[in-house]
Structure 1
Amino acid sequence: MSQPLAAARTAAGPTRQPGVLVVEHVPHEGPYAIGAALEAAGLPVRVCRTWAGDPVPDTLAGAVALVVMGGPTAAYEEFTGRAAELALLRAALAAEVPVLAVCLGAQLLAIAAGGRARPGEAGAQIGWGEVRTGQDARTDALFADVPERLRVLHWHGDTMDLPAGAALLASCDRYPVQAFRVGGAAWGLQFHLEVDKAAVDAFAAAFPEEAATAPRLRESAAAELTEPAPHRDRVFDRFAALVAARATRTANRAFFTPMAGTWEERFAADGPVYESAVARLGLRPGQTALDLGCGTGRVLPALRAAVGDEGVVLGVDVTPAMLDAAARHGRTGHAGLLLADACRLPLPSATVDGIFSAGLINHLPEPATGLREWARVTVPGGVLVLFHPSGRAERAARHGRPLDPADPLAETNLRPALHAAGWQLAGYEDATRHFLARAVRAT
C-alpha cells in the first residue's frame, strides 16, 4: 500500500491479534472439528461468545478467516448481534476473507450474499440423514472427493434461497440447500458436519424435547459418526490449509478493504512528495514501470508522464477494493491495474525498468522473497525506489515506540538484503520528512 499498514493501524486504533474469528451463539454449538483443524494448522482462534454477552466485533481487521456457528434463533428474524454479524459477513465477502458458516451461520451467509433465509415448509429436520453432493462439489476446494452420499447430523427447521452465482454443493429431498459456496472462499453448511459424540450429547441435553423426536440420536452417535469422520476431517483440514496459505494476504485485504473508499482523500496532501520520489527512478520514454502496492494509484500518473505514451505502466495491489478505487479515480487511463501478490508477480523475467514501492516491504511476510522477486522481473541496471513520506524516526515517535532494530528498512538490514537479492544500494535517505532508498539491479 502507498501508506504503511502500521501507520494506518495506529490511526485507526490498536489491532487485535491476527487469527480466525469464531462467532458462537450457544455453548453447545462450538467449532468442534473445525477448531481442531484450525489448531492443527497453527492458526490462533479468537472466539466471540455472543451467548455470554461478548459484543460482535465491528471489524475484521487482523482476521484471517471468519467462522460463524449455529444457534436456536432464526436468521430472518432480529436477534442481538444479527446486524453486526451480517456486516462482518458482507465485509468478509468483499475482502475475500475465507468464511465457514454452519446452520444459522450458513443462513446468515446466504442473506449477506444477497439471498434469503425463510421458514422451512417441511418442518424441523433433526437427526441423522443423508445429503447428496452435486456436480459443483467435484471441483470444490473443500468438497472434492467427498462421496456422492454422505450421512450427517441435521438440526434445523429453516431453509434458504441462494443468491445468484452461488454454487450448490450438497442437497437432500427435504431441503435442497444443504451446502453451498459463494465466490471462491465462503462456504455455508446447513448440516452439522463438525460434531463429535460430545457435541451430539450437548445437542441432546440442550434440546431434550426436540431430541425425543429423533430416535436414537444420542445412543447412535458413535456409530453414526464413523462414516463421515474422514470426510469431515478432510473438509475442515482443507479449509484450515486454505486459510493458512493466504493468511497474510487475507489480513491485509481485511484491513484495507473498508478504507479503500476514503484512502485517496485521507492522504491527498502527499501527492507532490510522491511525484518527487518517482523522479528518482530516472525513467525514460518507452520504458516499463511498476508501482508495487499501488493502493488507489496516486503515483500512476507520474509514472505515465515519465515513460510517455509509448511506455508501459502497471499498478499492482493485492486488495481488489483498492484497485476498484483506483479505477474510479480514473487511474486506468494512466496504467494497467493488476491484482497480484507482490512476491509472486505474473510477469516475465527482466522486463521492468523501474519499480516504485511505498510502504509495502514492511508488510511482506518475507521481505527477502519480495526483493528477489522484484530483481527477477527487473532488467540489469533497472532501478528500485522504496519510499515513505515520513522518516523512520518520525514514524516511530508518532506511534510512541522506539526504532525497531529488526526493521527491514534500517540500513544495516536493507543493504545486505538488497545485495543478496541482486540489487546494489545506490542511495539511502532516512530524513525527518521522508524515507527513500534507491537501488540498482546488478548486471
Structure 2
Amino acid sequence: MSPTPTADVLVVEHASQEGPYVIGTALEAAGLPVRTCRTWAGDPVPDSLGDAAALVVMGGPASAYEDFPGRTTELALLRAALEAEVPVLGVCLGAQLLAEAAGGRARPGPGSQIGWGDVRTAPAARTDPLFADVPGSVRVLHWHGDTMDLPAGATLLASCDRYPVQAFRIGGSAWGLQFHLEADKAAVDAFAAAFPDEAATAPDLVVSAPGHLAALAPHRDAFFEHFAALVTARAARSATRTFFTPRAATWEQRFAADGPRYAAAVVRMGLRPGRRALDVGCGSGRALPALRAEVGAEGVVLGVELTPAMLTAAAKEGRADLARLLMADACRLPLAAGAVDGIFSAGLVDHVPDPAAALREWARVTVMGGVLLLFHPSGRAERAARHGRPLAPDDLLAEENLRPALRAAGWSLDCYEDASRHFLARAVRVR
C-alpha cells in the first residue's frame, strides 16, 4: 500500500487571537490548503499527521513546560514530524514545544518581553532556507515570558541580549520563532485587546505598529513565502514519509510471508555474479537478501528509500550488511549514468508523483541491456478488490498503458504477468 500525496498544512492554534496571520496568507497564495485545529474552541489535537505536508504550531498563553490540554499529543505530533522530516514551524509557545519535542527544555525567562524590539540574526542565518533574506538586525513583535534551552544539534538563527534564543532550526526542516514574525496590524490589535494589562507595559505598541510593520513587511513576507515554497516542493515526499514513518517499525513483521515471492521475483531478473543491483524504494529491504545472493559477494547491491524510518528498519533487520542503504528520491537518484545492471522496484512506479520521470531516471542509471523488474506480491485485481475499487482503465500497470510508458523512457517490456498472487513486469533498457 502507498499513500496518495495531498498537500495540506496542519495548523494548531491555542488562542483565538493567535492565528497564523501572514503565515496563512503565504500558504494560501501558494495554493496550500490549511487544516486548522482550534484547541481553544475544543478541537481535539490529531493523534497523527495524516497526510499533512507541514505542521505549524502557534503561540498561546500556556507554558510549554507545564501541562495543558493537548500538550502531550502536540509533543507527539512534533516528534512524528521531526522523525519524518516534514516541514515544521513553531511560533512562541509552538517554538518552545518544538524545542521540548526535540530534547531541549522550555523554562521561565528573565521577565516579560512585550512590544517591539530588535533581534540579531546569527551567522548561520545567511545560508538558512528561510532566513537568508532577513537582515542582520530586524525589529519584531515580542510577547512572551518564557524561553528555552535548545537541544543538541539545533542551529541558532537569531537572538537578543535578554533572550539569547529567538529563532532556531532543528535538522533541515523545522524552525522555531520565539517572536511573532507572522504579525500584521490585525494581529497587533488582537493581541492588545486580548491582553490589555500586558499591552499597557508597552505604551507605544499599537500606535507605532504601522511604521514597524511597514519596515518589517518585506522580510516577513519573504520568510513565509520561502516556507510555503519549501512545503510545496516537498509535499509529495512529506506525504510519503508521514504515511510510512509510523508503520516502519512493524513493516517487516506485517509482510514477512511475502519474502519467498520477493526472492522468486529477483531470480527472474537474470542477474549474474559480480553485477550491480539496485532496489529502488527498498522499504525494510525484503528484496535485498535475494539480490545479494544473485550478484554474490563480488557484486554491488544498493537499497534506495525516501523514508528514514524505513532505512532504520532495514538496518535492524541486518540488511545494511547486505547492501549499501541510501536515502534518496526515486526520481533523482544520487548515481552516475549506467551505474547499475539491474533495478528491482516493488509497488512504487505507479505511486511516485511523476511515473514517466521515474522510468526515465531509472533508465539513466542502468547500463544498455540492463533490466528493470516491477513487482508486487499481489495482482492488480486482487489489490483493487482489497481496496474496494474497480480496475481503472488508466492504471499505469495495465499492459496497454505500461508498455508505451516503458518504451517512451527507453525500456522494452519483454515479460508481463498479472496473476492472482503476484504482478511482475520485466523490461530491458534499449536506448
* Structure 1 and Structure 2 fold alike (TM over 0.5): yes
Q: 1:235 aligns with which of 218, 223, 237?
A: 223
Q: 1:307 aligns with which of 295, 303, 314?
A: 295
Whole-Å separation in 2 of the counterparts to 1:50 and 1:385: 49
The SS at the match of 2:249 is coil
Task: Give the corresponding residue for 2:83.
Answer: 94
Which residues in structure 2 correspond to 1:187-198 (within 5 Å)? Answer: 187-198=175-186
Whole-Å separation in 1 of the counterparts to 2:198 and 2:217: 24
Query: Alignment RMSD, CA only?
Result: 1.2
Q: What amino acid maps onto 2:105 in structure 1?
A: R
Which residues in structure 2 correspond to 1:246-261 (within 5 Å)? Answer: 246-261=234-249
Which residues in structure 2 correspond to 1:240-279 (within 5 Å)? Answer: 240-279=228-267
Whole-Å separation in 2 of the counterparts to 1:103 and 1:332: 41
Kept after mapping to 1: 8 A contact 2:5/2:235 = no
Which residues in structure 2 correspond to 1:322-337 (within 5 Å)? Answer: 322-337=310-325
Segment drifting more, 399-408 vs 80-89: 399-408
Q: Is 1:174 the equivalent of 2:162?
A: yes
The SS at the match of 1:60 is coil
Whole-Å separation in 1 of the counterparts to 2:211 and 2:132: 24
Kept after mapping to 2: 8 A contact 1:95/1:250 = yes
Q: Is 1:119 the equivalent of 2:82?
A: no
Q: What amino acid maps onto 2:224 in structure 1?
A: F
Task: Give the corresponding residue for 2:189.
Answer: 201
Segment drifting more, 388-397 vs 16-25: 16-25
TM-score normalised according to structure 1 size: 0.95
The SS at the match of 2:243 is helix
Q: Tell me by how many angstroms 1:404 deviates.
A: 2.0
Q: Is 1:432 the equivalent of 2:384?
A: no
Q: Is 1:51 the equivalent of 2:40?
A: yes
Kept after mapping to 1: 8 A contact 2:281/2:305 = yes
Kept after mapping to 2: 8 A contact 1:304/1:334 = yes
Which residues in structure 2 correspond to 1:15-414 (within 5 Å)? Answer: 18-121=7-110, 123-414=111-402
TM-score normalised according to structure 2 size: 0.98
Q: Tell me by how many angstroms 1:16 deviates.
A: 9.7
Q: Tell me by how many angstroms 1:141 deviates.
A: 1.1
Q: What amino acid maps onto 2:342 in structure 1?
A: G
Q: Is 1:5 the equivalent of 2:2?
A: yes
Unaligned segments of structure 1, at least 5 residues? 7-14
Whole-Å separation in 2 of the counterparts to 1:159 and 1:47: 26
User: Residue deviations 1:319-339, cap 9 Å, x none?
Assistant: 111111111111111111111
User: Residue deviations 1:327-358, cap 9 Å, x none?
Assistant: 11111111111111110111111221111000
The SS at the match of 1:227 is helix
Whole-Å separation in 2 of the counterparts to 1:334 and 1:380: 25
Whole-Å separation in 2 of the counterparts to 1:143 and 1:318: 26
User: Residue deviations 1:195-241, cap 9 Å, x none?
Assistant: 11011111111111111111121222211101111000111111111
Task: Give the corresponding residue for 1:9.
Answer: none
Provide closer, same or farther for how the CA distance between residues 319 and 24 of structure 1 changes in structure 2, counting only shifts above 3 A.
same
User: Residue deviations 1:70-97, cap 9 Å, x none?
Assistant: 0011111101100000000011111111
Kept after mapping to 2: 8 A contact 1:16/1:61 = no
Kept after mapping to 2: 8 A contact 1:115/1:164 = yes
Percent identity over the alignment is 75
Whole-Å separation in 2 of the counterparts to 1:362 and 1:51: 41
Unaligned segments of structure 2, at least 5 residues? none
